Chains A and B, each alone.
Chain A
Amino acid sequence: MSLIRCDDVSFSYTGKTVVSKVSFEVNQGDYLCIIGENGAGKSTLIKGILHLKKSSSGKIEYGDGLLANEIGYLPQQTISQKDFPANVKEVVMSGCLNKLKNHLFYTKECKEKVQENMELLGIADLSKKSYRELSGGQQQRVLLARALCASSKILLLDEPVTGLDPIIGVHMYELIRMFHDKKNMTIVMVTHDIPGALNEASHILHLNGEQKFFGLKEDYLKSEVSTNFLGGLAI
């Protein structure tokens, strides 16, 4: 049984179909990159996987004991976060939200987990700093730490390297790779960075209003879709 399984899923906004007929599955240990042009429906699909948006048809299922609220989600940053007065620790702590259950405040275990994840991502010394004063790369690491607090199984990343310095972006990929390789986490990533995606991923899902390709990266590179899309981009 796969972790996430999408069966002929379509999404629409106010009656207009954005993306249709998407079928794929994500298995434990996969590294899936979802690529496609702007408006291809990538972020919509991510929202659908998280049940933030209802599909207009088709089914999205979780398997292998994965619960809907156990997905570590790294969303794109919102405008209001730019001037948000919160320190790093508060933000990372909010990743433990799904462990609150009936508690009103975070337990000691949560606090330990927060500390552990901050150290893992090298932001422990920033813990008292204000989120809005950090650089883009640091903010992204804070949000990644928060996602890790929410899940130790699967990370869902929406454009994790967009807007980052190339060098910082490479570092971000290294971190994600570390979670994939060492912690055996499953990764699903939406990205604009095609070379990055082809470098890192084990599987590729190519969208353009509909599903153009899903399968192993090696097969994708041989496929017609990739030749048309990449236009002979040297890998």
Chain B
Amino acid sequence: MGKRICGDTNMVKAYLYTIELMITLSIVFLIITFVFNAPSFRPDFGKNVIKKSIINSAEYMYYNDELRKFMENNNESLVEARIIQMVPDTITIEVSDNCDTANLPQFLDVYRVKYYIAGYQERYFFKRICISGWEQ
């Protein structure tokens, strides 16, 4: 009988260990799910999105020679209007042919892409154009 009592106690202990182990594993899996469900901090991709939007729209204008054509006549306002059509509404665009910073906001993150133009059709000229953008 004494042996049986001892055996029962061991069995109860074994059950308890198994239950504890299963509870621990459940907690571990629950926390894994919780931790990997959402990043612990929100990465700031906003600035990269702005920059990428400006680059993509400027590339489009550059490769179909619109940028070249507009810059031949120093028509920055046309470049600006075309870029505004292509970027999200939340982004404000400023185009400058001498890359000055006078009209840029002082307290916001401004992203800027630069292009060089060496002429249009047969005419040679050198132009530097800066397209700046920031979130409103």
Q: Do A and B come from one complex?
A: no
B-to-A contact residues, CB < 8 Å: none
